[in-house]
Amino acid sequence: MTANPSAELLDSLLTIAGQTTAVRKEVRVWSMSGVERLTFPDATTTIFKYAKRPFDSEDHILRGAHALGVPVPQVHASAVLDGWLGILMEDLGPAVRDANDLDGTAAAVVLHGTRTAPALPVLDQASLRMLPNRSLDHLARLRKAERWQDTDGIENALDRITQAAEARSAGATVAPFGWVHSEFHPTSLHIGQRGWRLLDFARAFTGPGLLDLASWHGTLDAPDPVRLRAFLEQYVTAGGPPDALARRGGLTAENWALGWHRMWAVEWFMEQSIRWINDPATDPAYIKAVRRHLTDVLHLLEV
Which domains, and CATH codes, for the chain?
6-89 (3.30.200.20), 101-300 (3.90.1200.10)
Asked whether the predicted pLDDT for residue 2 surpasses 60, the reply is: no
- The amino acid occupying position 187 is T
In this prediction, residue 292 carries a pLDDT of 98
Side chain identity at residue 152, one-letter code: D
Instruction: Give the pLDDT confidence of 45-89 residue by residue, as tens digits.
Output: 999 999 998 899 999 999 999 999 999 999 999 999 988 999 999
pLDDT at 53: 86
Predicted local distance difference test score (pLDDT) of residue 3: 64
For residue 176, whether the previous peptide bond is cis, meaning omega lies within 30 degrees of 0, is yes
pLDDT of 6 reads 84
The span from the CA of 10 to the CA of 8, in Å, is 5
Q: What is the pLDDT of residues 157-188, one digit of tens each?
A: 999 999 999 999 999 999 999 999 999 999 99
Residue 82, by phi and psi: left (phi above 0), alpha (psi -120 to 50) or beta? left
Residue 4 has pLDDT above 80, yes or no: no
Distance CA 195, CA 197 (A): 7
- What does the pLDDT look like over 228-252, one tens digit per residue? 999 999 999 999 999 999 999 999 9
C-alpha to C-alpha distance for 235 and 168, rounded to whole angstroms: 23
Residue 1 in this model has a pLDDT that exceeds 80: no
Average pLDDT, the chain: 95
